[in-house]
A and B are shown apart, each in its own frame.
Chain A
Amino acid sequence: DQQVKQNSPSLSVQEGRISILNCDYTNSMFDYFLWYKKYPAEGPTFLISISSIKDKNEDGRFTVFLNKSAKHLSLHIVPSQPGDSAVYFCAASEPGGSYIPTFGRGTSLIVHP
């Protein structure tokens, strides 16, 4: 059973508009969340993270929001650019020494010029 779900396999957005990528989780022990971005034929790269003690973290055009009660997080990209077109993976981890994050299946974002 998937503990981290990205229910939208794909998302299409116009350049300059906001992109919102969603991620839901079921494990209430998760307390640290990460987003990775992956271009075709390249490895994923870390984008932004958030700890459960916060509900928002911002880095330039990228903001991650965490709603612990709903077990939901979202990545906002404003404004979206064609270079943002990639697959975005949500990942979560729990405390206690496990070094393995749990990944969602990814959302493919296409930003149209």
Chain B
Amino acid sequence: DVKVTQSSRYLVKRTGEKVFLECVQDMDHENMFWYRQDPGLGLRLIYFSYDVKMKEKGDIPEGYSVSREKKERFSLILESASTNQTSMYLCASSLADRGRADTQYFGPGTRLTVL
């Protein structure tokens, strides 16, 4: 059974703080993704990675960076948290061998509040 875990379920930070969100998957998936979910806006892609040390910007990368030093781990970094980054953050992983967007497996999410 695929497992994607995220380091925190709930997080409260102050404006200007540096925030790290960690995601780990145990199925040797090549692709990993970070989304944020906001009411009425659905899932918006922040960054994705298709291999170790590779990263690509998604639809809303501003204010975020990522790191993928190991295949199983994908970190999302908020360099200087702002109140408009209050959101639910979802990590996902998928296989790459079909050459298409395959089924994604999501973590439980991190509800981040920036005060």
Contacts and interface: CB of A to CB of B under 8 A. Distances in A.
A20 B66 CA distance: 38
Contact of B99 (A91, A97, A101, A103): A97
Contacts of A103: 42-43
B40 A99 contact: no
Given A41-B109, A43-B106, A43-B108, A95 B100 contact: yes
B21 interface: no
A96 to B, nearest CB: 7
A51 to B, nearest CB: 10
Nearest to A42: B108
A109 interface: no
A100 B96 CA distance: 10
Contacts of B50: 99
A36 B109 CA distance: 15
B75 interface: no
B104 to A, nearest CB: 7
A98 B111 CA distance: 28
Contact of B41 (A34, A36, A93, A105): A105
Interface in B68-102: 90-92, 94, 96, 99-102
A46 B104 contact: yes
Given A44-B90, A105-B40, A99 B100 contact: yes
A58 B106 CA distance: 23
Contact of B4 (A43, A96, A100): A43
Contact of B101 (A43, A44, A99, A106): A99
Given A43-B106, A98-B100, 19 more contacts: A9-B40, A32-B100, A32-B101, A36-B106, A41-B109, A42-B108, A43-B4, A43-B91, A43-B92, A46-B103, A93-B100, A96-B99, A96-B100, A97-B100, A99-B31, A99-B48, A101-B101, A101-B104, A106-B43
> Top 9 nearest A-B pairs by Cβ distance?
A43-B106, A93-B101, A105-B42, A101-B101, A103-B43, A46-B103, A99-B31, A44-B106, A97-B99
